[in-house]
Chain A
Amino acid sequence: QVQLVQSGGGVVQPGRSLRLSCAASGFTFSSNGMHWVRQAPGKGLEWVAVIWYDGSEKYYADSVKGRFIISRDNSKNTLYLQMNSLRLEDTAVYYCARWGWDRRPDYWGQGALVTVSS
């Protein structure tokens, strides 16, 4: 079955960096685009970034553009989100999600909490 297992969350000071990982199994990882979506405490969902199945295209939300980098290693079946210059407002649970057929976000990771605090 499709599984997305996330790691890398934690507490970090403003201005510092953190990298999230999302390990995929149960499907051909190199055939699917992947997203990052976040949810601030008590708030709704906010799309962060997407990467094409082969890494050839990447798109970002304006709120993270120039600070976050989405990448993937298809040989390791793993998606990454490098978060630089973190701000207090980046505090959220970050989810990875598979980009399935018909542009559907069909499988989601369990989430990783990132807390930016001084």
Chain B
Amino acid sequence: SQQGEEDPQALSIQEGENATMNCSYKTSINNLQWYRQNSGRGLVHLILIRSNEREKHSGRLRVTLDTSKKSSSLLITASRAADTASYFCATEGGSEKLVFGKGTKLTVNP
């Protein structure tokens, strides 16, 4: 079963704009990870944030984590057409497996 939900389900923006995606989850976690998936392809790991961290940056990516609200957000700044993909959050609660949400489909228009 899915752990949580990403919001929005779909997002369409213009190149250069920022994109924000949210993820909510249900149970306690050790860490939360964000992955990107281009259409019909495998997943690419973007960033991992530990349960004791509140914010993390990697290039144009900024992730926040609020464990009290069981939510995370992924911000992509200065988006590019190449950022068009589906983005998934995945939680790890100590059992090795990742539990994914349903994803946000991002379209960046040139």
A and B held together in a complex: no
**Which residues of B pack against A, CB within 8 Å?**
none
